[in-house]
Amino acid sequence: MKLTFLLHAVLSVGLVSSVTLSALPTHAQTPQNSPTSLEISTDTHESFSLTIPPLGSTSNAQQRENRLMSHSELNPTGRFVKTGTQLTIEVTSEPNTELFLGIGMKGVYTDLNTGKDTGITTHPLNPGKNLVTSSVDGMVYLINRSDSLTSKATITGGTPAPFFRLHETSENDWQTMLNTRGNSLFTEIQGDRTFLTIRTDLVKKHLKKPAAELVSYFDTVVKLTNEVYGLQDNATGVAHKQKHRIHLATPDTGGGYAHATNGHLGFMTSTGAATDLLRGNIADQWGLWHEIGHTYQTPQYRWDGLGEVTVNISSLYVQEKLGYPNRLSSRKADIKNFLSQVQNGRTYDEENDLFVKLGLFEQLRIAYGDNFFPRLSQEYRVHNALHQSESNTSTQQQQLILNASRVAQRDLSTYFKNWGLTVSAETAQKLAEFPLSQFPFGTISFQIKRLLTALSPNIHFHEDPSTPHHTLSS
C-alpha cells in the first residue's frame, strides 16, 4: 500500500518535472478534504464530542513532506485538568489501536506540574467507556494516529476552558466563554492549520481583535509557508500537505525569544513572545514566520551554518505576500560587499552573516519567480522518496547546484561560484546538458545590479525555461 503510494507519487512528479516551471502537479480530490472540515465536534459545559479523521503519524508526514520538524497530532477538546482529576471518555467508534487520550502541556509553567515540563502523557482508548485519572496538570487532547480509521469520542469531566473553533464558535459565544469559563488557567483557539494554547488571563488582557481574525492570520502564515515549499492540501503524492495542525504553545519560560521543535512552537510569556502573538497581523511578526519556517526547512540544504539561514526563505516570502517590505532590501550593501570579497577568494561557508547568506537563496526566487522554491522542494522530495538524498556538506552543496539548475533548466554553476561555492568537475559535467543561465550572473557587478533592481517592487526578471536560448551569454 505504502510502496504503491510512493511509486505513484514519484511517477506523477517525474513526468512533469522537466516540462514547465509554472505549474505544480496538482490532482484534485474531493472538497471534503479541505482543512475546514477536519472533524465534527460538539462542545457543552459538561462534555466535548469529537469525530477525528485518520491523519496517520506526524513523523511519517514530516518525512514524506521532507520537512525538518513534525507538526502536531493533538486535537484540542477545550478541557483543562489538574493532577488526580478523573475523566470519562466514551468511544463510540470501532476499535482503533491508534486512538489515545493526551493530557499535558508543552514546555514549563511555574504553577503546573511543580514547574516541570511533563509533555503530553497518553492513554490508549478502547471502544466503550474509559476512565482516566490524570497524572499531570494540563490540557486534554484526542489523538488518532491511524492511517485509515475515523474515531469518535466524548469526554466528560475536567474544567471547561474557553475554546474558540474557527467556523464553529461565534465571537459572542467566545466572549461569553471567556467569562463563564474564566477559571480555566488556559484557553485554546483553534484554526484550520494552527491552534494556540495560552493563559486565559493573557487573552483577556491583550487580545484586542476577534479570535477568528487572529487564528485566520496564523493559518494564512502556514498557508503561505506551504506555498513556498509547494505543499498543497489537495495534491496527491509527496506534494500533499497532511492536515496536522501547528501547535503554538506559550510556556512561561524556555529557550530564546521563541523556539521550534517537533510537535510544537514555543512563544514564551517571559520574553513577551506570547503577547506578541496576540497582536496578530503586524509588520513585526518575524518570530512567528521564522519559527513556522523551521518546521519546513529542507534537511538536504541545511548544512553547517545554514540552520538559521534557509529557515528564512519562507519568512521572506510570507513577509512579501503579506505586503511588508522585504527584510533583505536593507542588506544590499552587505551582500554587495560579500560578493566582491568572493572575487578575492572568500567562500560562502566563511561568511557568518545569516542575512548575507540568505541572499543566495532569495536571489534565485527573484530571478526565477515564486515557482522556483516549490519546484526545488518537489525535486528534493522525490529524491528523498527514492533515498537519493546526500548527507554531507560538500555532496549536499553539489546536489543543490544540480537541483537548482535542473529546476531552472539552466546551468547555474557561474551563479553559485559567484556566491563562493565550489562547483566540482563532476557537477559541471552534469550541467553541460543545460544552456548557461541567461540571467546575467556572469559578472559580479551585473549580479549586484540585478539584485538591487529585483528587490525593488514591481520589477521581476523571469527566464522562460520553455524557450531554448540559442545565443548564450558569455
Q: Of 69 and 360, which CB lies nearer to Zn ion in the complex structure?
A: 69
Going by C-alpha positions, the residue among 327, 214, 222 that lies closest to residue 281 is 214
Distances, alpha carbon 337 to alpha carbons 21, 305, 344, 357, in Å: 32, 19, 11, 12
Residues in Cβ contact with 326 at an 8 Å cutoff, skipping those fewer than 6 apart: 316, 319, 320, 362, 455
- At its nearest, how many Å lie between Zn ion and the CB of residue 276? 16
Residue 428 CB, nearest distance to Zn ion (Å)? 34
Nearer to Zn ion, 10 or 354 (CB): 354
Instruction: Read off the DSSP letter of residue 344.
Output: T
Question: If binding means CB under 5 A, how many residues of this protein chain bind Zn ion?
Answer: 1
Nearer to Zn ion, 39 or 308 (CB): 308
C-beta of 295 vs 405, nearer to Zn ion:
295
All residues at 6 or more sequence positions from 72 whose CB lies less than 8 Å from its CB, including other chains: 58, 195, 244, 245, 246, 247, 263, 264
Q: Which is nearer to Zn ion, 141 or 361 (CB)?
A: 361
Query: Listing from the earlier edge strand, what are the strands of the sheet with 128-133?
Result: 40-43, 47-52, 151-156, 86-91, 128-133
Of 173 and 308, the one with the shorter C-beta distance to Zn ion is: 308
Residue 185 CA to residue 381 CA, distance in Å, equals 42
Which DSSP string corresponds to 411-458?
Answer: B-HHHHHHTT----HHHHHHGGGSPBPSS--SSHHHHHHHHHHHHSTT
**Region 29-68 residues binding Zn ion, contact defined as CB under 5 A:** none
Residues in region 289-318 near Zn ion by CB under 5 A: 308
Tell me how far, at minimum, the Cβ of 441 lies from Zn ion, in Å.
Answer: 29
The minimum distance between CB 290 and Zn ion, in angstroms, equals 6
71 or 240: whose CB is closer to Zn ion?
71
Provide, rounded to whole angstroms, the least separation between the CB of residue 264 and Zn ion. Answer: 15
Q: Where are the beta strands (DSSP E) in 157-252?
A: 159-160, 163-165, 186-190, 194-199, 246-249
Helix (H, G, I), strand (E, B) or coil at 107: coil
Taking the complex as a whole, the smallest distance from the CB of residue 217 to Zn ion amounts, in Å, to 20
Angle between helix axes 372-385 and 393-408 (nearest 10 degrees) is 130
Q: Which is nearer to Zn ion, 292 or 421 (CB)?
A: 292
E strand or H helix that includes residue 355: helix 354-368
> Contact at 8 Å (CB) between 66 and 377?
yes
Min dist CB 257 to Zn ion, Å, is 10
Helices (H), 239-353: 273-277, 286-296, 311-321, 332-342
The position carrying cell 551554518 is 305
> What is the closest distance, in whole angstroms, from the C-beta atom of residue 105 to Zn ion in the complex?
22
Answer positive or negative: Cα dihedral of 70, 74, 80, 85: negative
User: Shortest approach of Zn ion to residue 221 CB, angstroms?
Assistant: 15
> How far apart are CB 218 and Zn ion at their closest, in Å?
18
Single-letter code of the amino acid located at 448? I
Query: Measured from the CB atom, is 308 or 320 closer to Zn ion?
Result: 308
| CB-CB neighbours of 357 under 10 Å | 22
| Type of residue numbered 287 | G
Shortest Cβ 311–Zn ion spacing (Å) = 5
For Zn ion, the closer of residues 188 and 362 by Cβ is 362
Residue nearest to Zn ion as judged by C-beta position: 308
* Contact in structure between 134 and 83 (CB atoms under 8 Å): yes
Cell numbers at 10, concatenated: 514519484
What is the DSSP code (8-state) at residue 162?
A: P
Nearer to Zn ion, 128 or 256 (CB): 256
Residues 328-367 that bind Zn ion (CB under 5 A): none
Q: Mask 444-473, x = binds Zn ion (CB under 5 A)?
A: ------------------------------
Q: Indicate the DSSP class of residue 114.
A: G
Residues at the contact surface with Zn ion, assessed by CB under 5 A:
308
